[in-house]
Structure 1
Amino acid sequence: MSTTYQALVQESANEPLVLKALPTPSTPTPFGTALVQPLYSNLASYTRSLANGTYTRPVCYPLVPGHSCVGRIESVGADATRLKPGDIVWVDSLVTARDDPDTQFLLGFFGGAGPAAQKLMADAWPQGCFAEKVAVPLENCFVLPKRWFEAKAKGGAGYSVKDMAALSFILVGFAGLVDAGVGAGTTVIVAPATGKFSGGAVLAALALGAKVVAASRSQEKLEVLRQFPGARERLSTVRLGGDVDEDAKKLLEATGNKGAHVFMDVSPQLTFLPSHFPAALKALRRNAQVILEGGLNADVSFNYLDAMVRNLTVKGKFMYEREHVDKCIEMIDNGNLVLGESVGLTVSGVYGLDEVVDAVESKEGNEWWGSDVLVAPNGQA
């Protein structure tokens, strides 16, 4: 066995991302740990800032980026009872301290909200998935059924392994919707609705049986969502114009003038409150829920009396829990939730570790639904 493996590393803040040889982890694999060979990981939109040394999120250095992946188990600790070498798994990026459920960080991406989370990242799980090997907690590995990757003619689901890289942005919206009780008979507004995470929320809401109102400033990007299963029967789209009252009127009409049960906000990183937010609030019915899942760094205001009279609930939702991942996998296995090219999750490029820095200059991960760009640290599977 080779004594080293290749990984993309940023040694410190303001330094570029470089390919380095790192020492192969010692054997046997420690208790509570899985050693994974990453197969496909998303080349996310933040990768350019890593490549040119301008990344600003709190992380611990040296940093190996790559927040999640589909991978193959190489070895596991002696306490593993289900995971075994050779399993294809989805590696979850949300790492939680075993002695404190309130201490969390995102693998290879975000060091968490305080010193305890940053210590966990630095001392226990310092590396992300842009590497030929990564050590992760056992509980962050979810086995994907073998039949998913078998041909439909042989009774399989006909997926490719790379299709499952999309789980990293499907699950975020899925968890918020499940917690809000979204299902058949409910109406959900998703705004804006044409990005990676927001498009995933639309796909998930339709899979859960809801009527969905997808809103965006781009009608062209909204049209892409019409290929989703259930869209023909239960998807309405609203092109936002920026006038709060006019947009509220259009959103309300799209709900059948009854108002939505849930508004999921998936705003990008902005320092101001976008006009779709107050517009969507006006299009909610009594007892509705507002789920905050975006990246706004701005104050949000609403009318106190209006919120009280309509019994509105406002809830932030960060990432997801293990039960959400299990439920999502079950829904894919049952055919309720469909991934892959049939829902627009195409792959426009796959790059090896030695190609990533050059690739981000021209093909950085796109912010919109589809045309995904992937990193294959161990070559294409």
Structure 2
Amino acid sequence: MTTHKALLLSSLTTPISLQTVPTPSATPGSATLRVLAAGLQSYARAIFTGALPYALALPQVPGASCVARVLEVGPDATALLPGQLVWVDATITARDDADCNFLLGLHGGVSAGSQKLMRESWRDGCYAEIVKAPLENCYPLDEALLTRYGVEELAGLSTVLVPFGGLEEAGVGAGTTVIVAPATGKFSGGAVLVALAMGARVVAAGRSAEGLEKLKSFPGAAERLVSVRLVSDVEEDAKALFAATGGKGAKVYMDLSPPAAGRDGTPTHVTACLGALKRGGTALFMGGIQRGVEVPYGLMMFRNLTVKGKFMYERTQAERLIKMVEFGNLTMGKASGMTVAGTFGLEEIEEALDFATERTGWGGDVVLVPNA
């Protein structure tokens, strides 16, 4: 197979289009894979038009991660085999510089090195019939343990893996109280789901009563989930959040705010959540806010608080999270509201983009199936 179909983004001023492109071969350190399912973000159109200014290497095939089946492996592969079902991780890290990383087919990172790595070595992503990826980014999935899920549902692994990376690094476990705010988006909803699976007591906060209601169906929610509807008043929200922790404060506050949240300065929920942390607590910033936010200096000092940024996750964390899903410790799919609202072929990309734009909250995922 010398060619295959792929969605090519040539520029930010022309629509993404389906093209016939050369099929890559597996080289040392890589594998080629047949893409079965790849999630389409609600903000994908904003990236493709430049409204969301992500670093890209145009022309390129977008698509950050996917579930795929191995076609061919490079000569240095020792465990990965053709035919295996795998999850392809979007986080690509330079082999000679751990500080140099970017997101496959999505964002070239912030350094010249990471953008060079995207541009010259791993330009094309998963919105294609075939994708080439580093061996270390291909995580085998145990099909015998995952029969309860379809590949479209497994495409949502990144939704829960991203928050897991931060929660585990912050020491979240049984008995830990965690505030997630906002908590009704895809990744933030994933943070609530994962924190409950890790044994934490979770305070889920947001402005949408309907969105907060969805979280109550999560496994463990009846016993360990409290929701707080925010009113955009720092003092009132901080008081409500603190009360929801049992009056003792939270050990961890995870923020997965979308880019729009920081448009007009520091969002009120950030200040309120910092005020609801206990002494020695940690605030995890893992969202999409592109501008600076203010922190209350005196509060940070007197309570010995830590503000920590976390980009994605580590390889060992990805392996642990996949085992949690395989062994049933973490429930995905319909049982946790991780529903698939629509699946689309590559030729239906415009319809898929319109459909995805309307689905920003928890559940209702949109998935591309290039080889349906």
Per the TM superposition, whether the score is higher than 0.5 is yes
AA aligned opposite 1:91:
V
AA aligned opposite 2:342:
G
Residue aligned with 2:132, SS: strand
The CA deviation at 1:333 is 2.2
Percent sequence identity is 51
Bigger drift between 263-272 and 211-220 goes to: 263-272
Distance 1:214 1:361 in 2: 29
AA aligned opposite 1:23:
P
2:360 corresponds, among 349, 367, 376, to 367
AA aligned opposite 1:22:
V
The CA deviation at 1:305 is 2.8
1:258 alignment partner in structure 2: 248
Residue aligned with 1:209, SS: coil
Check the 8 A contact 1:195/1:369 in 2, yes or no.
yes
AA aligned opposite 1:60:
A
Q: 1:205-284 counterparts in 2 under 5 A? A: 205-269=195-259, 270-271=262-263, 272-284=265-277
AA aligned opposite 1:110:
H
The CA deviation at 1:50 is 5.2
Distance 1:305 1:86 in 2: 57
1:139 alignment partner in structure 2: 136
Check the 8 A contact 1:273/1:296 in 2, yes or no.
no
Check the 8 A contact 1:148/1:333 in 2, yes or no.
yes
AA aligned opposite 2:350:
V
The CA deviation at 1:364 is 3.3
Distance 1:191 1:50 in 2: 24
Distance 1:149 1:336 in 2: 12
2:168 alignment partner in structure 1: 178
Residue 46 of structure 1 pairs with residue 43 of structure 2? yes
Distance 2:328 2:358 in 1: 28
The CA deviation at 1:82 is 1.3
Give deviations 1:60-109, integer Å, cap 9, x for gaps.
01110111001111110111111111111110001001111111111000
Residue aligned with 1:359, SS: helix
The CA deviation at 1:46 is 2.6
1:155 alignment partner in structure 2: none
1:162 corresponds, among 123, 128, 152, to 152
AA aligned opposite 2:369:
A
Residue 333 of structure 1 pairs with residue 332 of structure 2? no
Give deviations 1:218-265, integer Å, cap 9, x for gaps.
111101001111000000000001111111111011100010000111
Bigger drift between 108-117 and 10-19 goes to: 10-19
RMSD: 1.4
Bigger drift between 112-121 and 194-203 goes to: 112-121
Distance 1:34 1:206 in 2: 35
Check the 8 A contact 2:352/2:366 in 1, yes or no.
no
AA aligned opposite 2:330:
L
Structure 1 gap ranges (5+)? 151-157
Cα distance, 1:9–1:226 mapped onto 2, change above 3 Å: same
The CA deviation at 1:148 is 2.9
1:196 alignment partner in structure 2: 186
Distance 1:35 1:226 in 2: 41
The CA deviation at 1:311 is 1.1
Q: 1:335-354 counterparts in 2 under 5 A? A: 335-354=328-347
Residue 297 of structure 1 pairs with residue 290 of structure 2? yes
Cα distance, 1:160–1:148 mapped onto 2, change above 3 Å: farther
1:154 alignment partner in structure 2: none
2:280 alignment partner in structure 1: 287
AA aligned opposite 2:218:
F
Give deviations 1:292-318, integer Å, cap 9, x for gaps.
011112322223232122111110001
Residue aligned with 1:70, SS: strand
The CA deviation at 1:362 is 4.0
1:15 alignment partner in structure 2: 14
Distance 1:41 1:104 in 2: 21
Moved over 3 A (4+): 49-55, 362-365
Distance 1:55 1:301 in 2: 23
AA aligned opposite 2:371:
N
The CA deviation at 1:123 is 1.0
Distance 2:161 2:55 in 1: 23
Cα distance, 1:300–1:361 mapped onto 2, change above 3 Å: closer
Residue aligned with 1:251, SS: helix
Check the 8 A contact 2:355/2:366 in 1, yes or no.
no
Distance 1:267 1:289 in 2: 16
The CA deviation at 1:166 is 1.0
Residue aligned with 2:367, SS: strand
Bigger drift between 105-114 and 293-302 goes to: 293-302
* TM-score after normalising by structure 2: 0.96
Check the 8 A contact 1:42/1:365 in 2, yes or no.
no
1:90 corresponds, among 87, 94, 99, to 87
Check the 8 A contact 1:14/1:55 in 2, yes or no.
no
Distance 1:283 1:39 in 2: 43
Cα distance, 1:268–1:179 mapped onto 2, change above 3 Å: same
Residue aligned with 2:284, SS: strand
Residue aligned with 2:11, SS: coil
Distance 1:80 1:92 in 2: 17
Give deviations 1:134-180, integer Å, cap 9, x for gaps.
10000000011111343xxxxxxx12222111111211111100000
- In the alignment of these two chains, the number of paired residues is 369
